Structure 1
Amino acid sequence: MAVITDELTQTDAAFAGNRLLATFSSEARKLIEPFGTMVEFQTGDIALTRGEQVVSSLFPVGPTLVSMEIELCGGRTVEAALIGRRGAVGGIVSCGQAPAFSRARVLVGGQALRVPMKALEDAKRESPFIANLFCRFSDYLLSQTMQSVACNAYHSIPERAARWLLHAQDRTGNRIELTQQALADLLGVQRTTVNAVLQSFEQDGLIATGRGVVRITDREGLSQRACECYERLETHFNSVIGGTGHGDS
């Protein structure tokens, strides 16, 4: 992880490119911007390790995509939540420093604004808006985890794969840098199973695949293949956060 030289244009990009930060007023922005540092992640970087004390939060910008993973015996992992430019990683919903429960692995490299926990806690005390926004994001993050439990239990692998790709597109764009093995690990299935699903999607013109890349070519068609979980989470995000931080409902 490299630290990017502090430039005004970099922090401007962070507050414009992250959905949480974009809801900040100029007064709220002043409470955390002086303490923020732009950092660059590479695909595969570990942003947080389970049990590690969380000393700062990361606000992904642009295509940066982070998977919150639960590690199991035998080296297997299962994704609990997917976070990109619509959210934050590490400590945003806790009260002060606390150990990380899951591992945060960077799926798609890119930039993030790193803010120390002390600065965030001070900002929450000074700004009811910031405190409320982070509570709302906590609610959305919990809903994502709960919906994943239901999805993994009852929906087919093609439905789950389509849902995951739609969520990834929302957070990182049409071009998703992801290997088939990585997607299989995230879904908790065999690579051969994911390979068959992606081949089916590609034959139907929904996606195009390359070496370590998946491009969404027919979002509407892919949406028809996804389970109801995608729409439920989108509706909830708009209800609790939306474009204002207070929800659009």
Structure 2
Amino acid sequence: MSRTAIARLHLAVPPTNREGRDCMPPLDTPLRTIELAGQVGFCFGVKRAIHLAEEALESNGTVYISGDLVHNATVTSALEARGLVRTDTLNDKKEGTVIVRAHGLPAGEIRRLRDSGLQVVDATCPIVHHAQQAALTLEQEGYQVVIIGDANHAEIRGIVGTMTTQPLVIDSIEELRAAKASHRLKRKVGVLFQTTHALELCKDIVSELVFMCKDVRIINTICRPVQQRQDAAVDVARRVDLMIIVG
């Protein structure tokens, strides 16, 4: 099977507009070709999180979650319809089950939940967990940890909360330059990335950062399935007249 699936639209019933009038295009209108990117759908981390949530709902009593399990409104709504309880805080919960979202939580928070008597189902994506461990490794080796990503993203908050020192989180070359100018960027830095970040943006920031610091260690924490989907989207975009992204 080719890397790109191609389908043609065949209209069995003439479409109508809101007034009920026939709006079938003229017969000489060429058929439209739809190209589907070679890499689409949920990655294994999202599939794993959904599977764990469904198992918890089938075998446990009250099941809580703080935030969204994954970034997909259809999935989260379906899970809530099956009984998943979304809550703003877990501090007052003493019994039941809590699901850790795919973006993860700080390790200390997970320990606190278990110590409070809750059963914890950890649906953290393994690649996100790897990023958390990478941050700890760099910290223990004496590097200032620099995370390229969105400081407000749940994944980044989880990584930051896992560490004992405050990392530098930047999301643009301008933020990097501002950190350098304000002396917040040190000479020995360890770099990692938000797992879902665009590789090209990370490359641009790293290319400038290596000239600002004396000792730079980089751990590539970008999710490979995400990168494959980004590459596939760019590949399709180069060949089509209109790009539609569903999600």
Q: Tell me the TM-score normalised to structure 1 length.
A: 0.30
Higher Rg of the two aligned structures: 2
More helix, by proportion: 1
More strand, by proportion: 1
Q: Tell me the TM-score normalised to structure 2 length.
A: 0.30
Q: Which has the higher contact order (CA 8 A, sep 6+)?
A: 1
